[in-house]
Structure 1
């Protein structure tokens, strides 16, 4: 038995032999979601497939010699930002005669890997990866799959900040944070606080910008409380409650995105703390509900539709592609 791990030419029978299972069991795990197979056995088969570089080749046989379509990978395709990116990609794809599809990569590394192996077998023209889809996953396991897809001829492009060797559509999250901080510093408030999420590249960049911007305007960066949570309404709510229990309650909160800010707004309301009277509040992203909140949320509008169009163009680039940097716009509303 021989295989080329780098080229992904291991067969299903190779995987089954090394994992000590039947070919039908390996197929159920790798091609049919593991239905009827125990979790321990599924983990073993996937680990072997990962080690051998196995790729489902049913679609590859059907499309041998051809590449088709660009795929957007996202952890949750239902979010407004992902929907806007997808719309931009689809618009640009229609103009260039290229089909665009969306793949939900799932909540963990195993699900992510399973989707990527299927996609590699389908031989796409390119994969567009949202940086947020890497949050909470084991990127060290996933990156080799993207690198293998690139070796096999598929361009790989990211949307958002990342540290990997792939071109990207970038929003400059640090500068976004500085812009928000510059505005919030004009409000005459003395006790700023920040809501962030560790491990989220965009929000971590914005947090760095918040601190740099506030420090540049005379605030003591060392004394600014920074509360971290998952990126959810519940996370923002819990972090804000922790801030409100501090001996010196903050009088302005800079949230790393609008979802955290919405959680903060609910926590303030439940604690009978008025926004913006007692606590000014800002977010980032300008999701559709931001303008309909009470008070309407001060935030930063990001060009997600334009990002999708730019990502499609970058994904089809045949020369050495360069990063594309997009501008954002501060939107001031009643919350700050």
Structure 2
């Protein structure tokens, strides 16, 4: 029994008839939630292939059944940090037999909420939100509402690379030691004798930079120092922003000997702007970044930075969310460490 291209699409009843089983048995094979004898499963799968049977995902959603999908929400798919975490999400989703749906927000907090709600309506098994959270009360309240709504429907909100929403909120949290990494990389500069360090690339009300600034400040305090507020520059996590803010920094005229770029992409822009101004790294100015994306190693000089376990973040997010029954903790903090290259030089006498 086969169907030509001009005939109607095969139904679950057609599959059952060809396999010689009940419609309920075909449903069990499709759902994967109930045990089915291997021989029976093989007959059903053979019939599905012969009929070119395609599962109607929309019908599943309307019926309130599992759609075997993991939704992954991020700012920008072209960003190296996000792309590396996405690889981990997709790899683990494939292992778990899930389809990975990728959604972008372009940095719009409202769009993030809209996409989470849409994925809830689509009955995704897990909704993973990547990147820093917006430090806004209304946004926090809405995300908390979605965490409870997803939990009631058997799904899960997963916060990846951002802090928890609060105590007793039913959400999976997979963080990396953001503040600790910033503390370590700042201490690396301070131990090299630098005392006038720029923090370049703060994004207002974003937990990513709030945590990094806390680590930056704590490291100064550990050395009995206070960061210079005039050396903290707002910006975006991009190469273009790194160039623009470095030009403004040089025009400001305040003395400094090192720059902590909020991300490696910002650091790439810093190097370009300093080169155009005939300022050498690290001979004249030392520079560090954050993330350890592949670009960091290819810059000239290679960028000393904080390594973030990107792919492990993604894999852990999927695994914890889909196996809540056997995972002992739904809040994991992955470690970070310094990747030393050639962009830092000890301070010269009199600098």
Per the shorter chain, which TM-score range? 0.7 to 0.9
Counterparts of 1:116 and 1:192, CA distance in 2? 39
1:276 to 1:311, Cα distance in 2 relative to 1, 3 A = same
Q: Could you say which residue in structure 2 is the equivalent of 1:91? A: 91
Q: TM-score, normalised by structure 2?
A: 0.72
Q: Could you say which residue in structure 1 is the equivalent of 2:192? A: 187
* Contact in 2 for aligned 1:181/1:210 (Cα 8 Å): yes
Aligned mate of 2:335, from 300, 315, 327: 327
Q: Could you say which residue in structure 2 is the equivalent of 1:174? A: 179
CA shift digits 1:154-204 (9 cap, x unpaired): 111111123514331111211111110121112223321111222221222
Q: CA RMSD in A?
A: 2.7
Unaligned runs of 5+ in 1: 1-56
Q: Could you say which residue in structure 2 is the equivalent of 1:267? A: 273
Counterparts of 2:150 and 2:330, CA distance in 1? 19
Aligned 1:239-318 pairs, distance under 5 A: 239-318=245-324
The number of residue pairs the alignment matches comes to: 280
Counterparts of 1:269 and 1:59, CA distance in 2? 58
Counterparts of 2:102 and 2:329, CA distance in 1? 22
Counterparts of 1:59 and 1:268, CA distance in 2? 57
Q: TM-score, normalised by structure 1?
A: 0.75
Q: Could you say which residue in structure 1 is the equivalent of 2:122? A: 122
CA shift digits 1:309-328 (9 cap, x unpaired): 11011111334742111111
- Residue 269 of structure 1 deviates from its aligned partner by 1.5
Counterparts of 1:158 and 1:76, CA distance in 2? 17
- Residue 306 of structure 1 deviates from its aligned partner by 0.7
Counterparts of 2:206 and 2:65, CA distance in 1? 38
1:142 to 1:237, Cα distance in 2 relative to 1, 3 A = farther
Aligned 1:116-265 pairs, distance under 5 A: 116-132=116-132, 139-140=139-140, 142-143=142-143, 144-164=145-165, 165=169, 166-195=171-200, 196-222=202-228, 225-265=231-271
**Which one is further off, 205-214 or 91-100?**
91-100
Counterparts of 1:161 and 1:117, CA distance in 2? 19
1:333 to 1:68, Cα distance in 2 relative to 1, 3 A = same
Task: Please tell me whether Structure 1 or Structure 2 has the larger radius of gyration of its CA atoms.
Answer: 2
1:141 to 1:108, Cα distance in 2 relative to 1, 3 A = farther
* Contact in 1 for aligned 2:196/2:228 (Cα 8 Å): no
- Residue 59 of structure 1 deviates from its aligned partner by 5.5
Counterparts of 1:210 and 1:281, CA distance in 2? 14
* Contact in 2 for aligned 1:74/1:132 (Cα 8 Å): no
* Contact in 2 for aligned 1:59/1:121 (Cα 8 Å): no
* Contact in 1 for aligned 2:242/2:265 (Cα 8 Å): yes
CA shift digits 1:194-236 (9 cap, x unpaired): 1122222122211111121123124333567211112222222
Unaligned runs of 5+ in 2: 1-56, 345-351
CA shift digits 1:139-158 (9 cap, x unpaired): 25752345433332211111
Counterparts of 1:329 and 1:108, CA distance in 2? 30
SS of equivalent to 2:255? coil
* Contact in 2 for aligned 1:207/1:256 (Cα 8 Å): no
* Contact in 2 for aligned 1:73/1:133 (Cα 8 Å): no
* Contact in 1 for aligned 2:116/2:146 (Cα 8 Å): yes
* Contact in 1 for aligned 2:292/2:307 (Cα 8 Å): yes
SS of equivalent to 1:77? coil
SS of equivalent to 2:204? coil
